[in-house]
Amino acid sequence: MRNLRGERLGRYEIQDELGRGGMARVYRAEDTLLRRPVAIKVLAAQLSMDSEFVRRFEREARTAAALRHPNIITIYDVGEAEGFYYIAMELINGRSLHSILTEQSALGLGYAISLLDPIAQALDFAHAQGAVHRDVKPHNIMLDRQGRVVLADFGIAQTPDADSERLTRTGVFMGTPEYISPEQAEARRVDGQSDLYSLGVVAYEIITGRVPFSGATPQLIVSHAQLPPPPPTSVVAHLPSELDLVLARALAKRPQGRYPNGTAMVAALREVAQRYQTPIATREQLAALIDPLVATDQTIPQAVGPAPRPAPRPADPAPAPHPAPRLADPAPDPRSPEPRPVPVPRPLPEHPSGQSMNTMPVLAIGGVLVVLTLLILFFVAQRFAGGSPPALPTATSNLPSPTIAIPLGSPTVTPTPSPTAVPTATPSPTLTPEPPPPTLPPPPPVFFTAVPPTAVPPTDTPVPPTDTPVPPTDTPVPPTDTPVPPTDTPVPPTDTPVPPTDTPVPPTDTPVSPTDVPVPPTDVPPTDVPPPVPPTEVPTPTV
């Protein structure tokens, strides 16, 4: 038979050849009347010369054209032109199941159910109309790009009124040996059960990747007629044993032993899939089989048994949200604010800034020091001017001197950053410290630290006056100027050294002798002297 590409059959212009077989060739054509693409199946020349065959061909084609089902290919026209008999039918923009299985081999149970379910419905519909396909095989199962599955090629379908004579007088075997039923192999009358047997062979191939029997045509005929098919688990070991039972019934030699219809056979396969939680292929996944590149990314697991095939490779995940920047984005810098020289234990909601909280204790203590310095200067000036100095006990009891001391050489007083210094430095209500003048800021090198409450026992608080070293300042004062008996009531020396400020007291202008300022022990009433303060509350200035 010559290639008809570029020729015209009736109203159809032949464009390309889509496929060929022993009985016919299929072309893509254009319907010049309706302006639509069609597929034309042209009967082989040797068959066109047999009038009986042509008669049956036309009658069976008309029977197929009467089948209106979404999963049966639509027959548009049957005719003859220039000695060629043809069938014009719907053109499927897709591929045949045969070409897909040739590329991908086994597809698995999930795909088998999705592919066989629409074909089973189409066969059940055709059988209800009295038509038998007689050539169910992957070559006649088409998939389009929308995932639609269509049963094609009802050209050799058997009509309800056809007799038992097989169309073999011209030496043409009706059917495909790998998929024929035992009835066809034995030249018996066929019905819908013959199509269901062929559908079972297709299911076997989709799941295992091979047909039950292979070999030459005579061997295939004998095998389908007499031999039981090998169990699917003998081909693919990890398949569940339930599939052996389902396919054994679908391929039973006697029609009475098979499933009553195609829907029942697919339901049995679906039950096995549900038992082993095998996913069923979606319509999108079926459509992806048309493109081999896309099909690679959209396959589903084939096996459902103890050792299933790997799950379909998922799509590339979205890029991770860059962990490096997340690691590089630090929390607020722990070094800001800087460590406080004198922490403030009391909450100060009116000063949310850490820097303001740090400066307030320093300013308060600086103000106390300035007031103390002014009182000492005033006391000395009054003494040398002949005035009456204020009572020392009263001034001593009102000053926060017990909480401010010069660094001692005692090893038990250890500066630590514990925040417990300022709360005890609260002046008496009778003496309100004035804010420091703008010209007398607190000395920068003076910092105060606090001692934890449990660091030093309270017995270490009193320090003898003779053990108090005089810091190297501009006003050296002999330690004998403030004799204080070693009692539990520490009395601050009247000649308290003035911190390095803008008003240093020269040593020559204010000579102090032990006889000028007698401080008898009896002048300090015990009731006026504050109890000894634990060293935990004594801030120590360090120069």
What is the rounded CA–CA span in Å between residue 20 and residue 48? 16
Q: Which amino acid is at 245?
A: L
Q: Which amino acid is at 384?
A: F
> Which of 31, 135, 153, 495 is the catalytic position?
135
What is the rounded CA–CA span in Å between residue 312 and residue 398? 87
> 229 burial class (0-12, 13-18, 19+ CB within 10 angstroms)?
buried
Name 496's Cβ contacts closer than 8 Å, sequence gap at least 6: 372, 376, 401
- CA atoms lying within 13 Å on the CB side of residue 412: 14
Terminal-residue alpha carbon distance, the chain: 116
Among residues 90, 95, 68, which one has the least CA distance to residue 286?
95
Q: Could you write out the DSSP letters of every residue in 99-115?
A: HHHHHH----HHHHHHH
Q: 218-224: long-range contacts at Cβ-Cβ below 8 A with a sequence spacing of 24 or more?
A: 220/177, 220/178, 220/180, 221/177, 221/180, 221/185, 222/185, 224/177, 224/180, 224/181, 224/182, 224/184, 224/185
Give 81's strand partners. 84
The yes-or-no answer on residue 135 being catalytic is yes
- CA atoms lying within 13 Å on the CB side of residue 273: 21
3 state SS of 139: helix
Cβ atoms of 440 and 502 within 8 Å: the answer is: yes
**SS3 letters across 352-371:** CCHHHHHHHHHHHHHHHHHH
Name 102's Cβ contacts closer than 8 Å, sequence gap at least 6: none
Cβ atoms of 138 and 202 within 8 Å: the answer is: yes
> 253 labelled as ligand-binding?
no
Cβ atoms of 232 and 244 within 8 Å: the answer is: yes
What is the rounded CA–CA span in Å between residue 135 and residue 154? 8
Cα dihedral 133, 136, 140, 141 in deg (nearest 10):
110
Cβ atoms of 499 and 541 within 8 Å: the answer is: yes
What is the rounded CA–CA span in Å between residue 204 and residue 185? 19
Q: Could you write out the DSSP letters of every residue in 205-218?
A: HHHHSS-S--SSHH
Cα dihedral 458, 488, 382, 433 in deg (nearest 10):
30
Active-site positions read 135
- Can you say which residues are annotated as belonging to the binding site for ATP? 41
Binding residues: 41
